[in-house]
Structure 1
């Protein structure tokens, strides 16, 4: 019988005004999850040992964050945030211990970095916008306020990589993974960076009760090729190291066409899910009815 999962959370924060229009917020938190579901091996059961789900896992997440906010001053509004967090526990999901449970080993538990343990996160937002009516201070051509209710928003983010388990030797795409080097989730994927930009303009009609907005949005402005997944032996998103290894060279010797085998294997390693989405440009219209 499975029990309800339990969450205990503590949080404390402090906010300080730095002037009439800006403030700094500091926040610290601690979260503890208990009785999380995990696979369990029931040994010496009749008629045979079997695997089931039980309430065995626990995880903790702790860290702090800094946030700076500046209310709109003139045409500009700014906010920035940095957070540092640590997510550790005995399992990253209900099936993360399935291989151990099936191996016949005791139901061991040890604390490790979780799959979603992302230590550092930075974000910054800059919004430049013109007001309307008497608040407008932009370009005027023949009594037409060209940029009234128009603006540009820039969002930048940077985050450290998620953990993974490095492998001791290369292995083929259809082979069983080799043993890990060091501890589970002891290595880190590369950092990720992204800048998004949105420009828009709004028109009011029906005595200001309804709006029409046109916008242009550019996601991943710099077309940054962020690495999301890697091959655990090389740490590369494009090469698992198998063809250049001694095992791979031996496998090539037993193929009918070595060049064809190498070419097709290289093609199979090209995984689009190892990289983030490239630059996207969106144009649209919104109606506020």
Structure 2
């Protein structure tokens, strides 16, 4: 597998503490060491007498509460933005969701927050028809490698989203490699996001009969993936049948297209933006190819 590119924006790249923060942390540690060394070394009886419990207990409490409040507010800001993005994404409004996830990535306080925010942003961007940009964002999550222990489920299905990007872009060799990586990560767990890229690869490579058989044989998996992917798979089935013999499969094509009607503009943008043959098929069959607003 080739190494994925990374986005140019710093707040969308793998999380890393800035050198200034590291220096400040070391300075604080050195100051604390010198303070306590002087406090407990010989010849500082007067200082120890002044530092009574009435002094250092309130100081410790104020310091703790101040730090707790600072980090709690930062976490709350990130959580609010991320959850707002999830709400927009669930409602099918990927453009608004993308704005929330990008701001959440900017406000992230650790690597896992950054990775999951960028991963969700990548899904939005893919749905909006920019698989190349989505690959960059998924590159951040793969390079960071912190979802493996932070959010294991996301780590397992990430290769299948990367495979979808590659397949839509026509890079079927890379897509197949990532699909195989997805199988390794999933192990015995039910597949997630695996059927769509596999069918796209088959169609891209011209294996239309196999694509149709794959959709039919694994329809239970398609049902589990949810509404939009079900419609996308129905569209691909109709496209594959049409490519084989439009006349012979006329009834089956009509049935598939009836189930593939887009619910909202942009439902198929993830597939058609970089796949002119599929877009032409949709236009010829009277399906909307309007972009999401």
| Same fold (TM > 0.5) | no
User: Which structure carries more relative contact order (alpha carbon 8 Å, separation 6+)?
Assistant: 2
Structure 1 or 2: more strand by fraction = 1
TM-score calculated relative to the size of structure 1: 0.21
